[in-house]
Chains A and B, each alone.
Chain A
Amino acid sequence: MKDKEILIVEDNEDNSLLAEKILRYFGFKTFIAPHGNAALEYCKGHQPDLILMDLSLPDIDGLEVTRILRENPQFHNVPIIAISAHALSSFGDNQEAGLNDFITKPFLPNDLINIVRKHL
């Protein structure tokens, strides 16, 4: 699990920092993209091993970003986990967009680590 890079797409500073802290504590590399475009920009040059996508982003919607990323064959198999304020109903739609799983906030650090480990 070492040296796995996780891209955190989250606009709220506190939350992104929180996630980073937890992940780094457990040995992951992280990069924070504060909005969708930043994430896309980052993905042009980098290949993260997992992406944590906050669905409510200021510019492009998290689902949209996911879709765009999935269009890229390089990102077909990268696990993308959504962070959502509520339990995603009709998860099927989201799955169609390309999300592999979701986690609701607020989450416990253990919850985060478990789900990350699950998809790596």
Chain B
Amino acid sequence: MGSHKLKIIIETVQKYLSEFKNYWIALLIFLLGILFSIGAFRFYENQELKQTRIEFNRLADIRIFLIKNEIIGIIEQINNIKNFFNASSHVSKDEFNTFTSHTLELYPDLIFLGWYSFNASESVLKDNKPLLKFISSKAELNNIHYHFFSLDYLEQSHPQKIFYIEQKEYLQFERLLEIQKHVKTAAVSDTIEFFQSGIKKGFFIFDSVFNQNSPSNLISNNLRGIIIGLANFEEIVQKSHLILQPTGFNIDIFDHTDSKEILLLHHSSTYQQTISSENPEEVEQFESWSQSYSFPVGNRTWMIKISPNRSFFQNHKRWTHWEVLIIGILFSALPASYFLFLVNRNLTIEQIVAARTNELADSNLRLENEILERKKIEENLTKKQRYLQARHEALKYFTKLTISEIQNAVNEVISRTATVMQIDRASIWFYETKENIPCLTCAGLYPDVKPSLISLPVFLNSNYPLYFQSLNNHAHLILPSVFNPELTQEFNSYLQSFHIISKLDIPIVFEGKLLGVLACEATKDDREWLLEDIHFGQTVADIVAIMMEQAARRQVERALQESRQRLVKAMKEAQAANEAKTEFLTTISHELRTPLNAMIGFNQILLMEMEGPINESQRLSLKKIEKSSFRLLGLINDILDLAKIEANKMELEIHSSNIAEVIKSCVEEITPLVEQKDIRISWGIDKPIINLEMDQMRIRQVILNLLSNAVKFTEQGEISIQVYDHPSTVEIQVMDTGIGLTEEEIDKIFQPFTQADNSITRKFGGTGLGLAISKKIIHLHKGSLEVKSKKEKGSVFIVILPKSLLNIYD
């Protein structure tokens, strides 16, 4: 991991180094800028320092001035007191007090002012003499007074703040005092320690006052007294504190009257806060800045020296140079960075361009390669395409063949196939079963051989069982077959005799039925049958299959067409015949009825005596004519009816009506005939109204026919007609106790012109048409007419009619 990171770093660095040459100007600019900034910084620093120094000097000067003035002032004040004393021959305590209190107020740094008189007049009583106390601080605590010096007058600046002079100063005090006795000028002491709410430092001031009349220099005899004062150094210095900028000064007061020995009288430092001690360089610097001033103080020469300390610099910190530096750096950074940016951009652009160029070169190369490849593929494709095209066209051509003759089509197919597949021989064989033996008959061969094989059954199942088997499995056949050597064996002689090296056989199958085989052969060279060949062959085989089917279908169609035509012709003929029949019937009907009408009519006229009266024998004869003519009419009607029915010309007028009424009227009509014979007739019905859809007239005809038959064939007994109501049918039973029928006779009776037996006509008469007609009428009503009978016992004729003919006649 670490080494990896290192590697990255090295790489990055290397990268940047390698590009360094691009960045050096930026770097240069930056460095220049930095340098400049530093220079400016330094410059400003210097300037500031100078300013500070100037400031310091100014302030120091002020302070010195103030301190000096203060000190001088103090001396002067004492001098003033001296003058005061000189001016007055006698100064009382009160006068002294008044005079000095003003001074003490003005100069709070004066601790006390006192008068040590040598004259008796200017002293107070002994006991009342104020005392200067010289004690050690320890002594004060123990309340031991040590040295006392009594003064004549003593005024303190702060009466409440009692002061004590350090005991150790007593000697110096006495000494100075002694000296002062002989000195005219003021004198100051060295540093005196005194105690006033803490140990303070100050100095004594002595000034002698002499008597006025002193002519000689013998001063000691003229000494009037000595003014003594004590000043506080610190307070003097304090007074010089400025409102602003009080701190940062080291103030020293030296006594350098003696050039050999400089005495430090007082040192005060004003610090903002406690800071660590200054290092020697600083001290040196501060020293170099110190301002000093010498001036005479009494009999000494003092020097005030003010030097800055760290606090001063802290207070006078200036930032301009830093600002300058920062700005300078920034400003130097700006163009550098801009330049960097430009360079970078250029670099990036260069990189991009390089990359692009590379890409282009690459893709160019690739393109060229692709083009080359494509050309190769195209060449391949064209070859393949041509091949495929040829096949495709062949197939299209095949599908377009309008085959009027299957033979032509076959020839076309194989010749084309041979060309397209580039084979030496192509043939189509039809699969047939001749005399129960499946065989293949050659339908076409290209190129043909002599003698022509066409239409000759060459392959028989018996000779080539394996082959036929595989054909029946609809499998493609490739010979010689390495997978099926037995098959190859089977074909050996055939292959040899026709010089076949490679063979591809595709069965022609239509909807699972084997129709034949398409055989492709190579006779010159070994041919490897590719998938495309097989596919093409298969397609051709399929097309041939369809063609064959189509040909077969067309044959069937033709046959159908012919039969249809014949049918149409037959129908037309039938129709014509039918029409002829109708016309015939109509004509016949008319022709037969017309004369009959005249016959019956005129007969009636005569019978009705419209031409005049007739006698009985005439009437009888006329009656006979009537009977016969009616019979003839009946016969004509029956024949015509039957003819109509046979010609399917009988039209029914179907209406819904009550069958009961029909039965009733039939019974009424037949009743006269019944009464003539020794038979009874009765009829019954389930419901008074049973409606059914029927041709009332025809049904009436049927019922009448049945009833008249019943009457005709019953000598004695009864006839009954019963109507039964069923949900969707009506059943009518006509029962008689007549001669009955055998089974054989039952079969015959419904046939026209056939009566039960030939003797009936002679005995009973009748045409034998009635039942045939009745049955037909009932059938037209989609009903049934049956008979049950026992010879000599009677018969029952059962008619069943559907109530509704709606859905039947739709």
Contacts and interface: CB of A to CB of B under 8 A. Distances in A.
Interface of A: 12, 14-15, 18-19, 21-22, 25, 56, 85-87, 89-91, 105-109
Given A21-B605, A86-B589, A106 B653 contact: no
B494 interface: no
Contact of B600 (A25, A87, A108): A108
Contacts of B595: 14
Contact of A12 (B598, B611, B640, B651): B598
Q: Which range contains the number of B residues in contact with the other chain?
A: 20 to 34
Contacts of B436: none
A106 B590 contact: no
Nearest to A56: B590
A18 B590 contact: no
A90 B633 CA distance: 23
Nearest to A26: B610
Interface in B481-501: none
A25 B596 CA distance: 21
B697 interface: yes
Contact of A18 (B598, B633, B653, B697): B598
Contacts of B538: none
Contact of A107 (B601, B640, B653, B697): B601
B593 interface: yes
Given A86-B589, A89-B653, A106-B633, A22 B610 contact: yes
The 6 closest A-B pairs by CB, nearest first: A106-B597, A14-B598, A18-B601, A105-B597, A85-B590, A106-B600
A87 B653 CA distance: 11
B604 interface: yes
Nearest to A13: B598
B594 interface: yes
Contacts of B598: 12, 14-15, 18
Contact of A87 (B599, B602, B610, B697): B697
B605 A109 contact: yes
A14 B593 CA distance: 12
Contacts of B589: 85-86
B608 interface: yes
B604 A108 contact: yes
Contacts of B586: 85-86
B651 A22 contact: no
Contacts of A14: 594-595, 597-598, 602
A35 to B, nearest CB: 15
Consensus secondary structure, chain A interface: loop
Given A12-B598, A105-B597, A106-B601, 20 more contacts: A14-B602, A15-B601, A19-B601, A22-B601, A56-B590, A85-B590, A85-B593, A85-B594, A86-B586, A87-B697, A90-B651, A90-B653, A91-B653, A105-B593, A106-B597, A106-B633, A107-B597, A108-B604, A109-B601, A109-B604
18 contacts: A14-B594, A14-B595, A15-B597, A18-B597, A18-B602, A19-B601, A21-B605, A22-B601, A25-B608, A56-B590, A85-B589, A85-B594, A87-B697, A90-B653, A91-B653, A106-B596, A106-B599, A107-B601
Contact of B594 (A15, A22, A89, A109): A15
A106 B651 contact: no
Contacts of B600: 106-108
B293 to A, nearest CB: 164
A25 B610 contact: yes
A87 B593 CA distance: 12
A30 B651 CA distance: 35
B551 to A, nearest CB: 53
B765 to A, nearest CB: 20
A60 B119 CA distance: 207
Contacts of B599: 106
A86 B644 CA distance: 12
B595 to A, nearest CB: 7
Contacts of A18: 597-598, 601-602, 605
B608 A109 contact: yes
A14 B599 CA distance: 9
A85 B589 CA distance: 6
Nearest to A11: B594
Contacts of A90: 651, 653
Contacts of A15: 594, 597-598, 601
A11 B744 CA distance: 50
Interface in B516-572: none
Contacts of A12: 594, 598
Interface in B591-622: 593-602, 604-605, 608, 610-611
Contact of B610 (A19, A21, A89, A106): A21
Nearest to A89: B651
A10 B545 CA distance: 74
A7 B626 CA distance: 28
A58 B598 CA distance: 19
A19 B596 CA distance: 14
Contacts of A108: 600-601, 604
Contacts of B604: 108-109
B637 to A, nearest CB: 9
Contacts of B611: 21
A2 to B, nearest CB: 17
Nearest to B599: A106
A118 B593 CA distance: 24
Interface string B167-181: 000000000000000
Nearest to B697: A87
A90 B653 CA distance: 7
A87 B633 CA distance: 14
Contacts of A89: 651, 653
